[in-house]
Amino acid sequence: MSNITKVVASRSWTFVLYPESCPEDWQDKLIGVPFLRSPLHDRDINPDNTLKKAHWHVLVSFPNQKTLKQMQELCASLNAPSPQVVKDSRAMARYFLHLDNPEKAQYDKSDMLVGGGFDLDNALKLSKSEEEQEEREFIRLMLDKIEEFDIVEFEDLLRFVMQEYPENYKLFKNNSFVLANVVKSRRHRQEQARQRQL
């Protein structure tokens, strides 16, 4: 059996910073390195229902691979616990806001800190299959609401979405052709039913 230990190296790493123990100039140690700092996680809950110590998550993406030893040295200079290799930067960036964990405290994108040219919009972007799933769920929701409120005019649907689901306006706009035809179809069906009753 070999005594050679595999050297862990990666371009992307994450670590935790605690506000009370990290140096004030911690960002200076990352000059030229694309990084993303999460909002302050001050509402996270432990399994025993106690509040976790407030902390930031940091994702760094180096142009070249860094070894575990190099990262441990960096983290020591930041008073940060052990670094972890990041296999999926996108998933990690989304985790910083708990976007895919609705059961956890939700954090605001505007409280993130970006440095060194880190591409936040790309990091938070849904995959194609996730976008399609989100779109299907939205259309299903709209079909239910159109039926529940007997909506037969597109303007009424637009006003309803703007009032009740403003965060989904882009999804609505991207699917307005389909939804307009659903509303038109319902109106047409109701008009035909009325004519048959005459």
Q: How far apart are CA 154 and CA 158, in angstroms?
A: 6
User: Is pLDDT above 90 for 1?
Assistant: no
Instruction: Using DSSP, state whether 126 is helix, strand or coil.
Output: coil
Instruction: Using DSSP, state whether 37 is helix, strand or coil.
Output: strand
Q: How far apart are CA 23 and CA 31, in angstroms?
A: 15
Tell me what the mean pLDDT of segment 48-76 comes to: 95
User: Is pLDDT above 90 for 115?
Assistant: yes
Which pLDDT band, with edges at 50, 70 and 90, does 137 fall under?
very high
Q: Please give the pLDDT value at position 130.
A: 77
Non-local (6+) Cβ contacts of 6 within 8 A are: none
Closest CA to 12 of 54, 81, 66: 66
54 neighbors 40 (Cβ within 8 angstroms)? yes
Per-residue pLDDT tens over the stretch 48-59: 999 999 999 999
Percent of residues, the chain, with pLDDT higher than 70: 96
Q: Are strands 113-115 and 9-17 parallel, antiparallel or unpaired?
A: unpaired
Tell me what the mean pLDDT of segment 103-113 comes to: 94
Q: Please give the pLDDT value at position 96.
A: 96
Non-local (6+) Cβ contacts of 165 within 8 A are: 172
28 dihedral zone (left: phi>0; alpha: psi -120 to 50; beta): alpha
Closest CA to 36 of 106, 102, 127, 117: 117
Which pLDDT band, with edges at 50, 70 and 90, does 6 fall under?
low
pTM comes to 0.66
User: Is pLDDT above 80 for 108?
Assistant: yes
Residue type, 192: Q
